[in-house]
Amino acid sequence: MQGRVLSPSISTPLLQPRRIHNRISGVRIDPVCLSPPSSKPFDLTSKSTNSLTLRSSTLISSSRFDGLISKPSLVSGEKSDDFVVRASSVPKSADEEPKSSSLAQTLQLGLLFGLWYLFNIYFNIYNKQVLKVYHFPVTVTVVQFAVGTLFVIFMWTFNLYKRPKISGAQLAAILPLAVVHTLGNLFTNMSLGKVAVSFTHTIKAMEPFFSVVLSAMFLGEMPTTWVVLSLVPIVGGVALASVTEASFNWAGFWSAMASNLTNQSRNVLSKKFMVKKEDSLDNITLFSIITIMSFILLAPVAIFMEGIKFTPTYMEAAGLNVKQLCVRSLLAALCFHAYQQVSYMILQRVSPVTHSVGNCVKRVVVITSSVIFFQTPVSLINALGTGIALAGVFLYSRVKRIKPKAA
């Protein structure tokens, strides 16, 4: 096939023809020869220009330019003059990257759930050991908030977590949350000091009941039929477990009930006293601020009600092991703050329904571990009542996602 000659009217010096070697295929290729410049001006609208474009594209698609134009290689043994476009193979790392990222996120979430349960188990064990010998639940609660406050200040000071800028309006909106958060933890410690850990957490399984009642009273959120039905096994299971509980006493029972009321009031207040969206805080920052405010609120109350009883002199006079009590109190406080921090971290990664299911499983783990550690006597009926209540909590967390049909 002879090379074609183009004759465009371009004011360009005559290019000397030379022979170009294709270093890849070893084929000798004749370049395009340009004719001497013409005196006729170059007209972009002329037919010759269109002809030039057509003939040039024909030449470019010709096999004579295979050495000058990069194109995908053809299958071995085949010859073709067509310009073939083929998709390049995707590197394996591109396919594996989303999978590895998803696996890493799953492992990270699993680790957070494990830490949540572990910190909660150790908090209840150490806290119960302290409250069995040191009968000052208000002081114990203050110590836990104090350690949490020091931990928050440490994080903010060394930029481990961004220190927020809080306005007066935000503090006013957070104050009711801090009050009920303080009361909720105080009542929980009062209950743990009176009854077994397993029984306290069995009573605290009634939190969904208080959540539904308070939401209906103050937010106007009427529950669906499925939600109401899921409350039946919760209430029945707690009643059955209470009747057969060996460590039952009314002080521990009503303290746990008050803890349910205040904790669920916090959830209602968080909706009712919502800070403006543009000024909203993330969960961890909100919890950190509430911890500091709870310490400030409860410290004067502890001094007024119980006096200054957390001193080595008093503990030695009371015949307590000072070192052991201080170490266990510190560990309980660290686990208390750690498990709540991890809980908020999980809540940022999963839906509220998933978090609620995880909280139900956590309660089962805490009850089981405390029964084994403290060798708590559990009758068959008591275990059955606890199981029914926890099953009702799990059912409640599942039916909450069922939306009522629009009228």
pLDDT digits (tens, 9 = 90+) for 208-243: 899 888 888 888 888 888 889 999 999 999 999 998
- Total Cβ atoms within 10 A of residue 385: 23
Query: Whole-angstrom Cα distance, residue 366 to residue 387?
Result: 13
What pLDDT score does 403 carry? 66
**Exposed, middle or buried, 224 (CB in 10 Å: 0-12/13-18/19+)?**
middle
The percentage of the chain sitting over the pLDDT mark of 90, rounded to a whole number, equals: 39
The answer to which of 47-51, 272-276, 370-374 has the lowest mean pLDDT is 47-51
C-alpha distances in angstroms, 207 versus 203, 204, 266, 385, 391? 8, 6, 12, 16, 13
Q: How many angstroms separate the CA atoms of 85 and 87, rounded?
A: 7
DSSP conformational letter for 6 = B
More confident residue, 308 or 353: 308
**What's the length of the chain?**
407
- Residue 159 has phi, psi (to 5 degrees) of 55, 30
**pTM of the shown model:** 0.71
> Can you give the pLDDT at residue 373?
93
The H-or-E segment that residue 28 falls in is: strand 28-29
Rounded mean pLDDT of 124-141?
A: 94
Average pLDDT, the chain: 78
What DSSP character marks residue 62?
Answer: S
Would you state the pLDDT for residue 385?
Answer: 93
221 torsion bin: left (phi>0), alpha (psi -120 to 50), beta (else)? beta
Describe the crossing of helices 92-133 and 137-157 by its angle, rounded to 10 degrees.
150
CA–CA distance, 176 with 173 (Å, rounded to integer) = 7
Q: How confident is the model at residue 311 (pLDDT cuts 50, 70, 90)?
A: confident
Calpha distance 126→120 (Å, rounded): 10
* Helix, strand, or coil (residue 198): helix
Closest residue by Cα to residue 348 from 287, 266, 279, 400? 287
Q: How confident is the model at residue 123 (pLDDT cuts 50, 70, 90)?
A: very high
